[in-house]
Amino acid sequence: MTASEKNPIVKIIGGKIWGLFGSLKFTLFILFSLAIVSVIGTLLQQNQSLQFYIAEYGSKWTSLILHIGLEDMYHAWWFSMLLVFLVSNIIVCTIDRFPPKWKATLEAKVDVDAKFIKNLTNNHTIALQDEPQAAKEKIFNILHKKRYKIKEANNTEGVSLYASKGMIGRFGSDVVHVSLLLILVGVIVGSIFGFKDSGAFYEGEVTTIPVADFQFGIDKSWHGIPLPKVERQKKASAIQLKLDKFWIDYYETGQIKQYNSVLTVSDDGREVIKGKQIWVNAPLHYKGLTFYQSSYGLAYDRVKEAQFFLQDSKTKKAVGSPFQVDWNMPYDIPGTDYRIKVVSFVSDFAYDPTTKTIYPKSAEHNNPAINVEIYKKDGKPVGSPWLFYNMPELFTQIPGSNYELVFSGYKGIVYTGLSINRDPGTVIVWSGATLMILGCLMAFFIFHKRVWVHVRKGRNETEVHLGGMINKNKFTFEQELLEIVESIRGVKK
Amino acid sequence: MKVIMSLLFFDMAFWFYLATMLFYFAYWITKKELLGQASTVLAIISTFAIFMMLLFRTKESGHAPFSNLYESMTFFVWVISIAYLIMEFKYKLRVIGAFVMAIAFIAMFATSKLPYRFQDIQPLNPALQSIWFELHVFSAFIGYAGFGIAFGMAIVYLIKARFEERKASNFLIDRLPFSNILDELSYKSIAWGFIFFTLGALVLGAVWANKAWGTYWSWDPKETWSLITWFIYAAYLHARVTRGWRGKKAAYVAVFGFLSTIFLYWGVSFVLPGLHAYASQ
């Protein structure tokens, strides 16, 4: 390859590695490797817990899986390596092939002789009675009508024409290759500067939206070798989001039709978007941030109201009727001189003895527990027990009375789960994707058709040599050339 | 009793496809022009029956007729039939109809064997209510159909090329088009398939995912398998211009590509878990 010999990299390190990276066989090797490796990632569940892998594959296999990085293989170094190979392959191939192709396409030989045409796979010889000049003009017109771009050259033998069309089809594959690089750039931009978060939002509540804060630093965790690293921290932004309303639409059959949230956005204390409804597939955009309707659920740390009743501590019989208590609102229990207030709730009770804190083990309502403060009506505190929905016998006696307080029900608060996302890379990814489709269309359906014609004066007639070349789709081109030849002959009549 | 028109037309189409396939095979064996023309007529009737099925399904369900496996399989059959009819009209090669219609009939058969709940009209869950979802599936299935035809052509190519190499003769094989034509047809189908697949399965799928979940790519099994399939067809396109790989090896890649497509379509939905699990609802 003459083009690569001039290449400075080849001059320095020799052509072997360059040749390998520029070969189509290497392309096939990478494409098949990527395909095979990706299959593994779909068979072995990704990003599961350590327990999952041990339960599924045993500890021996698990340590192997973790060692190779199979549990998160699309981010493993060797997977990235394959992508780097793919990118190098594309770049080397483009450097090798594009300039000569560009040159050959733009600077095609116009001044050819009859011998050149006779060497083409598709060639025809036609004898015409017209004068050479008239014959040339007629052929010119025929080719022009078929939308060929024509150049001509005079030589001692006669006149030669070079007609071509569909030149851009040649560069379709290059467009696809560049588009692939562009998509990867978009992915990288997104992974560095993008930001994703999600959270539970309650009706009426205002939440300050965090954004990512970037810091570039040095990472030495990889065998002590300093590598550039982007550190990201969440930082409060000036943007605040308020959930005005959340509701679910149902079909007549009872299946869920749609989740809807109405959002109000303020920026720097000023309302910028008021009461905008979002649903799945219809997110809200503001200043590069996008808010998605992603889930919903019952709050794990609060309730709308709780229901209690009193019972006699000896007879275990209910005293009076059950009563509802609003969240965080003091409530006088009728017929007694006690007042209670619901202050805390966990959906799945758990206790951490080291920090002595109570926390919800999960967002599921497996073991709902409620924390009430009990006062005398004069305001003197009596106690603040936790009551368990599933275990009404526990901790229920009101100190210094014959009453037991029983937690008998609650109305949860539905929250809407929103994802918040900023990805400046998507624009690049979409441009790449569009370019890729255009490139494919160019490569598959625009054919570079080239026709050379040589017209010279024979002994007693005008001799026309016509031949052509196409980069693919040979069958239809043969047909087209025959049509051209027919119409040239037809001109004679 | 209320007759569900879409199911009625599906049953009709089923028998028409069986007849169409048998007629194309009969034409291949006998080379009788009458049988050939009858095959084409039957293929047109079958395609029309499936079209009516899809039309009624749309009317009955109120959404585009490719939101579950039953609907999308039927849609696949329709696209592959139309693509074949265009091909037959353009290239006048009726013999290959036997192979394409065999694929169409196998698809019809597989669809009819789906559990009954798939035939029920299911209302769309929130994630599926998007024009991007509809475009995604629509375009991806045109891609699948292209790959399906290419698979058929590649198989015939491999058989034909084997006979040509040995210069062996067999009256059935001799009636098949020359191997270079089969190779060209396979390539053309993949070219069409590749564009619609890239656009539908990958690009529009990513656009939809980004609209619905805020991520255009999340390596879920369905996404990954569509990328695997894409890698295989990208390899095919490169193999065709690589010395030592064009011809037979490329044809094998086309076969593998379609096997991967089938797994992407059926295997992932039934075997592997992921976002696209809705398909097996």
Angle formed at CA B189 by CA B184 and CA B195, multiple of 5 degrees: 125
CB-count burial class (<10 Å; 0-12, 13-18, 19+) for A446: middle
Taking only the tens place, the pLDDT of each residue in A218-239 is: 776 666 667 777 677 777 778 8
Quote the pTM value.
0.87
Partner-chain contact A31 B235, CB within 8 Å: yes
**% residues pLDDT > 70 (chain B):** 96
Query: Phi-psi category of A275—alpha, beta or left, where left has phi over 0 and alpha has psi -120 to 50?
Result: left
- Comparing CB atoms, the residue among B127, B192, B219 nearest residue A74 is B219
Does position A159 have pLDDT exceeding 70, yes or no?
yes
Does position A474 have pLDDT exceeding 80, yes or no?
no
Measured over all CA atoms, what is the biggest interatomic distance in chain B, rounded to whole angstroms?
64
Residues on chain A touching B269 (C-beta within 8 angstroms)? none
Closest alpha carbon within chain B to A418: B213
Gap between the Cα atoms of A396 and A134, Å rounded: 113
Inter-chain Cβ pairs, chain A and chain B, closer than 8 A? 117
pLDDT attached to residue A385: 87
Residues on chain A touching B194 (C-beta within 8 angstroms)? 440, 444
Find the helix or strand (DSSP H, E) in which A295 lies: strand A289-312
Partner-chain contact A280 B129, CB within 8 Å: yes
pLDDT attached to residue B281: 32
Gap between the Cα atoms of B1 and B8, Å rounded: 13
Taking only the tens place, the pLDDT of each residue in A245-302 is: 999 999 988 888 999 999 999 998 899 999 999 999 999 999 888 999 988 888 888 8
Mark which residues 181-240 of A lie under 8 Å from B by CB: 187, 196
For A243-294, the DSSP string reads: EEEEEEEE-TTS-EEEEEEEEEEEETTEEEEEEEEEETTB-EEETTEEEEEE
- Comparing CB atoms, the residue among A27, A38, A441 nearest residue B228 is A38
CATH number of A112-166+447-489: 3.30.2030.10
Does position A211 have pLDDT exceeding 80, yes or no?
no
Closest alpha carbon within chain A to B121: A253
Gap between the Cα atoms of A78 and A86, Å rounded: 12
Does position A492 have pLDDT exceeding 80, yes or no?
no
DSSP 8-state secondary structure symbol assigned to residue A203 = B
Find the helix or strand (DSSP H, E) in which A78 lies: helix A77-106
Does position A1 have pLDDT exceeding 70, yes or no?
no
pLDDT attached to residue A3: 53
A446 touches chain B (CB under 8 A): no
Residues on chain B touching A475 (C-beta within 8 angstroms)? 181, 184
Partner-chain contact A187 B184, CB within 8 Å: no
**Helix-, strand-, coil-residue percentages of chain A, each rounded to 5:** 35, 40, 25
One-letter amino acid identity for A311?
Q
Average pLDDT over residues B10-16: 95
Partner-chain contact A255 B227, CB within 8 Å: no
A42 touches chain B (CB under 8 A): yes
Residues on chain B touching A258 (C-beta within 8 angstroms)? 126, 129
A254 touches chain B (CB under 8 A): no
- Comparing CB atoms, the residue among B232, B242, B268 nearest residue A25 is B242
Mark which residues 381-440 of A lie under 8 Å from B by CB: 419, 421, 426, 429-430, 433, 436-437, 440
A382 vs B40, residue with greater confidence: B40
- Comparing CB atoms, the residue among B195, B202, B234 nearest residue A31 is B234
Partner-chain contact B198 A440, CB within 8 Å: yes
Buried b (16+ CB within 10 A) or exposed e, B38-51: bbbebbebbbbbbb
Closest approach of A284 to chain B, Cα-based (Å):
10
Closest residue by Cα to residue A472 from A491, A453, A444: A444
DSSP 8-state secondary structure symbol assigned to residue A324 = E
Mark which residues 81-120 of A lie under 8 Å from B by CB: none
Parallel/antiparallel/unpaired status of strands A289-312 and A403-422: antiparallel
A282 touches chain B (CB under 8 A): yes
Closest residue by Cα to residue B153 from B76, B52, B16, B254: B254
The chain-wide mean pLDDT, for chain A, equals 87
Tally of CB atoms within 10 A around A274: 12
A318 vs B149, residue with greater confidence: B149
Q: Which two tokens stand for residue A367?
A: 């073991």
Closest residue by Cα to residue B210 from A283, A30, A207, A388: A283
Taking only the tens place, the pLDDT of each residue in B162-221 is: 999 998 888 889 999 999 899 999 999 999 999 999 999 999 999 999 999 888 998 888
Gap between the Cα atoms of B15 and B10, Å rounded: 9
Gap between the Cα atoms of A124 and A483, Å rounded: 12
Coil, strand, or helix at residue A131? coil
- Please state the ipTM of this predicted complex: 0.92
Residues on chain A touching B225 (C-beta within 8 angstroms)? 42
Residues on chain A touching B125 (C-beta within 8 angstroms)? 255-256
Residues on chain B touching A90 (C-beta within 8 angstroms)? none
Q: Which two tokens stand for residue B12?
A: 């009709």
B81 CB-near residues (< 8 Å, 6+ apart): B43, B46, B47, B50, B104
pLDDT attached to residue B278: 38
- Is A466 in contact with A124 (CB distance < 8 Å)? yes
Closest approach of B56 to chain A, Cα-based (Å):
21
